[in-house]
Every structure is written in C-alpha cells, then in structure tokens.
Chain A
Amino acid sequence: MVDKQTITEVKVDELVDKAVLMKGQGYRLVQISCTFKDRFEITYSFDKDYELEHFRIYGERDEEILSISQVFFSAFLYENEMKDLFGVKIKDIAIDYQGGLYRVAQKTPFAPQKEEEEEAEHV
C-alpha cells in the first residue's frame, strides 16, 4: 500500500522556529527542494523513525528567506543549490558560496526568465 504524504504549509517567518522544533524532537533533515512556477515553493523534509514530515513555504521571486543552516548545518548545501539554480534569496547561510557552488554557464538556470531578460534575448 502506498503511504499518504502530507505537506504542511508554513509561513516564511515561521520557518526557523519550525526547524528548531523539529531538531528538538529528534528529527533529521533529509532534503530541501525548490520548485518555481509563478512563485517559488520550497519543501523541507524531516525524518524520524522512517516517518517523513514535509513543510512547505511559498514566496515571491525577490522575497528573502532566512537560512536554517544555523539549526541544521547540513542545510547549507541545499540552500546554496537553491540560490545558484533558482536564484532564491537566502540570508545567513553557514557557508555561503555567494552563487558559486555550481559553475553553471547561465545564471540561475532553473528559474523562469524575467520579462525584461526574455525581451533582451529577442533583441
């Protein structure tokens, strides 16, 4: 039987508190993933005894979010990845590569292009 997966939405400014809570309850950070359509959605997944808990935040393109790497050190790689590939603005990352984790030819290749960038390409 396929297990049911639920994703709980949290507000951007509640994220770090939620991370502290999960750490206190003995959860392990297993992944952070980002998807970008009209706005970004970032999902934080935690595991305890094979049970996954997912929390999701939604934010606008230029919205700044706070890093959880001060709570879960391993978050720094996921956060740098989101910064490099999607252009998500994340502040206070434990090790911040300033957009240099991946040596990609195109800046933020996974993010949809802004209208002015698309126009510039067509000129």
Chain B
Amino acid sequence: MSKRSIVPFGPQHPVLPEPIHLDLVLEDEKVVEAIPSIGFVHRGLEKLVEKKEFTEYVYVAERICGICSFMHGMGYCQAVENIMDIKVPDRAEYLRTLWAELSRIHSHLMWLGLLADAFGFESLFMHCWRLREQILDIFETTTGGRVIFSVCKIGGVRKDIDKDTLKGIVTILDKMQKELKELTDVFIEDYSVQHRLVGVGVLTKQEAHDVGAVGPMMRASGIAQDMRMLGYAAYKYLDFEPVVENDGDCYARTLVRIREIYQSMNLIRQCVEKMPEGEIEEKFKGMPQGERYERLEQPRGEVIYYVKANGTKFLDRVRVRTPTFTNVPALLKVLQGCELADVPMMVLTIDPCISCTER
C-alpha cells in the first residue's frame, strides 16, 4: 500500500489571488481526499444590514466582490423591488442587462488570463488582460467607475447611456471580437494548452447535479441551466440559449466560458438594438415588508439573494449564497483521484471568488 501524506495547498499559492486552504491527502502523487478550509477573511457583510437602511445596503452588496460587483447590487435591488412590487422601467432593465453582460465579459477574460498564467503561458495572460482593459474603459465612460460603479439603485439605475455611446460600445466590441478570436483559438487549439486541460478534472453530469454545481462548472458537465433563462431584467426580451459542453473536464469549462464571452457580446448588441427610450428610474414610497429569494446568473454561476423585511427601513436579514460557495463541493469531487500537479488547474476552473465566499 502506498504511503499517505498530507500536503497543504494555500491559503498562499501562486494560482490563488485570494485565500482558500485545502488539505490534500495523497497516496504517492495521487489525491485521495481534499478537505477545504475557508473563512480566513470573513467580513460579515450580511450582518451590516442591521445598521444600514435598505436603500443604502446596495452599496454594501456591491462591495461583496470587485468582479461581479454590479450583479451583486442588481440581485439585491431585484429582491427588494419584487418585495415592494416596484416595476422597473424597461430602459433601466436593458441598461442593467448591458452592464451585467459587460461584467461577464470582464470576468471571463480575467479568468482566461489567470488560467493562462497558471499553466505558464505568460503572453496569453497579458493579452487576455489587455483586452479586458477595454471593457473597464467602457465602464469608466458609462459610469465613472472601473470596478465598483454604483449605478444600480432600488427602482432602476442612476445613469443613462446616450445613443452615440451605445453605438460606440458596439463598435468597440466588434473590433475586440476579432482580437478575441485570435486569443481563444490558442486556448481551443494549442497542443500545450490542451495537454493541461483535456481529460483533467472530469465531473460527470450526474455528479454535477448531486454536488449542486452551478454556472459554467455545471454547464460544462452537460446540464443546460442558466438563471438568465428565468427572464429577469431584459433577458426576457433577448434571444439566447445556455452554453453547454458535455465532457465535464477543465477544457470543457474553458470552452463554456469562451463561448459565453461571444454570447455576452451578442446579448449586448441585442440590448443596444432593442433598448427603448424612457425613464430609467421608478420612484417609490414606503418600506418593504415580506421575504424573497432572488436568483441571478453571475459569471461564476447562480447567486441567490434572500431578503427578509419587516416594514421598517432596516431589514431583518439579507443572505447571499454565492456561486463559489456552492461550487466548493464540486471542487472536492473533481480533486479525488487527480494528480497533485493538476490541482492548480482544477482549483482555477471553478473560477474561485473567495471575496464572494467570504461576504
């Protein structure tokens, strides 16, 4: 029988921008078990709801994560709006969708860069992040912020985008798509990239369902579930289908994210084409009373906002179930039986956001 040893992985590791720790139980070079450890930087942001008025809490929600900041604010706003039965104007719904899809492109490009960096393809990493800069520039032009831009508010959005700027965004994306094609061809076709990803970290369709995987992790295993299909914001007016791959390995997860970047570009074009004129905010009165579970599709998968309100300006409870939190059991599943050298790839392909997890 092989000798068992335990190798600590993280919280400080070159592939980890944020702290998570895994105790890897090894037999020779093979991982037989992985025990996760989180909670190094838990911030207790959910507790802050007791001290911030429900209209102010949007700012806290946006600070849960610096990558999908906008969608955190949007999820919280949607939950409160549905409790209070506020009808958000159509134009605001389109603007929210546009910023959400830009956030998805920015997140996936960042992830592709980190993946390239993890398998030692430095130039690919730099090109991914170079393209991502253009998305951050669009954020800055349309909102004034590059990371946390605070345009979402209960009842709508704070800023409008004029026609010329909307056309400009489409022009940037058209130009960017050509450059993106050159980059993604490398991820899809390069021998050395495939060598690190194909057949590595396989999660079957049944396993993905059983461990409650979400987002690209789930869709790469053949499950066609995408919360945008629920039709929140302007998604109900747009034409799209969930991006699905069937192999369930690291390569399939990469393909899903690559195809989702192109899908997001397409959704943004549809938004610009179909965006109606009109108000961007619905004024409201009163305090929320009731409770609501709100689901959205963030870049990493399904996020759930639970809001419980008591009729005062302070909410009883806000609970955020983030996609990384629920993808940790899926990570443990794929780590079982893998080679130690492949562990960084697998950790990366769940696209871990510990900032979200440590909300």
Contact present for A28 and B321 (CB under 8 Å): no
Q: How far is the CA of A2 from the CA of B304 in the complex (A)?
A: 16
Shortest beta-carbon distance from A66 to chain B in Å: 19
Q: How far is the CA of A30 from the CA of B321 in the complex (A)?
A: 9
Q: Which of B207-231 contact A (CB under 8 A)?
A: 209-212, 225, 227, 229-230
Contact present for A103 and B229 (CB under 8 Å): no
User: Chain B, 34-51, contact with A by CB distance < 8 Å: what is the 0/1 string?
Assistant: 010111101010110000
Query: How many residue pairs bridge A and B at CB < 8 Å?
Result: 74
Shortest beta-carbon distance from A53 to chain B in Å: 11
> Hey, which chain B residues are within 8 Å of A73, CB to CB?
210-211, 329
Shortest beta-carbon distance from B328 to chain A in Å: 6
Question: Looking at the complex, which of A14-22, A31-39, A57-65, A114-122 is the stretch in contact with chain B?
Answer: A31-39
Contact present for A110 and B47 (CB under 8 Å): yes
Shortest beta-carbon distance from A109 to chain B in Å: 6
Contact present for A33 and B325 (CB under 8 Å): no
Is B282 an interface residue, CB under 8 A from the partner?
Answer: no
Contact present for B47 and A103 (CB under 8 Å): no
| B interface size (C-beta, 8 A) | 35
Contact present for A29 and B212 (CB under 8 Å): yes
Quick one: given A2-B82, A35-B308, are A103 and B39 in contact (CB under 8 Å)? yes
Question: B316: which of A7, A29, A35, A102 is its contact (CB, 8 Å)?
Answer: A35
Q: Which of B300-323 contact A (CB under 8 A)?
A: 302, 304, 306, 308, 316-317, 319, 321
| A interface size (C-beta, 8 A) | 32
Shortest beta-carbon distance from B274 to chain A in Å: 20
Is A10 an interface residue, CB under 8 A from the partner?
Answer: no
Contact present for B211 and A74 (CB under 8 Å): yes
Q: How far is the CA of A79 from the CA of B42 in the complex (A)?
A: 16
Question: B329: which of A26, A74, A97, A103 is its contact (CB, 8 Å)?
Answer: A74
User: Chain B, 104-140, contact with A by CB distance < 8 Å: what is the 0/1 string?
Assistant: 0000000000000000000000000000000000000
Q: Which of A80-107 contact B (CB under 8 A)?
A: 84, 95, 97, 100-104
Is A70 an interface residue, CB under 8 A from the partner?
Answer: no
Question: A33: which of B38, B40, B211, B321 is its contact (CB, 8 Å)?
Answer: B321
> Hey, which chain A residues are within 8 Å of B295, CB to CB?
52
> Hey, which chain A residues are within 8 Å of B37, CB to CB?
97, 101
Shortest beta-carbon distance from B88 to chain A in Å: 11
User: Chain B, 275-294, contact with A by CB distance < 8 Å: what is the 0/1 string?
Assistant: 00000000000000001110
Shortest beta-carbon distance from B231 to chain A in Å: 10
Which A residue sits closest to B358, measured CB to CB? A102
Shortest beta-carbon distance from A23 to chain B in Å: 8
Contact present for A31 and B326 (CB under 8 Å): yes
> Hey, which chain A residues are within 8 Å of B211, CB to CB?
73-74
Contact present for B225 and A52 (CB under 8 Å): no
> Hey, which chain A residues are within 8 Å of B291, CB to CB?
7
Contact present for A28 and B229 (CB under 8 Å): no
> Hey, which chain A residues are within 8 Å of B179, CB to CB?
none
Extra contacts, 4 of them, besides A28-B209, A31-B293, A31-B326 (Cβ < 8 A), are A31-B304, A33-B321, A50-B230, A73-B211
13 A–B contacts, CB within 8 A, in A order:
A2-B85, A29-B212, A34-B319, A50-B225, A73-B211, A73-B329, A74-B211, A76-B329, A95-B35, A103-B42, A104-B42, A104-B44, A110-B46
